[in-house]
Amino acid sequence: MTTLIIGGSGFLGTELIRQARAAGHRTAATYHVTVPAFTSETAWYPLDLRDAERLAVIVAETRPSLIINASSGGADWATTAEAPVRLAMTARRHGSHLVQVSTDAVFSGIICGPDLALVV
């Protein structure tokens, strides 16, 4: 089984890679800016989640059974809100399961700006 971890170079992604490898999964992971120093036994792919074509190429090449999105786009709407939709559609087209991770380390839970806040 292959697990693709989107945002594998981050804090959570690093641990997810470790756990997947410990469970015997082949792993592939993405990074946005810098190739991680810990590259052994994991296939690494550069990815900007706003690039739907690049995402499709990576999923087609790795053929993962499971995709885990542990990326953080901060306040960038295209990365934080739109990209997970594209990721879900890509996963479905390729027959992959998708886990979308969100924590208060990724998303504070407050949306709509300072004048109108909605806590989710």
**pLDDT of res. 17:** 94
Checking if the pLDDT of 111 tops 60, the result is: no
Q: For 24-34, what is the mean pLDDT? A: 93
Strands of the sheet with 26-31, listed across from one edge: 42-46, 26-31, 2-6, 66-69, 97-100
Using an 8 Å Cβ cutoff, are 33 and 25 in contact?
no
* Side-chain-facing half-sphere of 83: CA atoms under 13 Å: 24
Band of residue 112 on the pLDDT scale cut at 50, 70, 90:
low
Mean pLDDT of 10-25: 92
> CB-based contacts of 7: which residues, under 8 Å, 6+ apart?
13, 29, 30, 31, 32, 69, 70, 71, 72
- Judge whether 90 and 28 are in contact, CB under 8 Å: no
The residues spanned by each domain of the chain are 2-119
Which CATH architecture is the domain 2-119 placed in? Answer: 3-Layer(aba) Sandwich (3.40)
Other Cβ atoms within 10 Å of 68 Cβ, number: 24
Q: What is the pLDDT of residue 109?
A: 55
- Residue whose pair of structure tokens reads 């470790």 in the numeric block: 18
The reported pTM is 0.83
Q: Which two tokens stand for residue 115?
A: 């004048």
pLDDT value of residue 116: 47
Encode pLDDT of 73-98 as tens digits.
Answer: 777 888 888 899 999 999 999 999 99
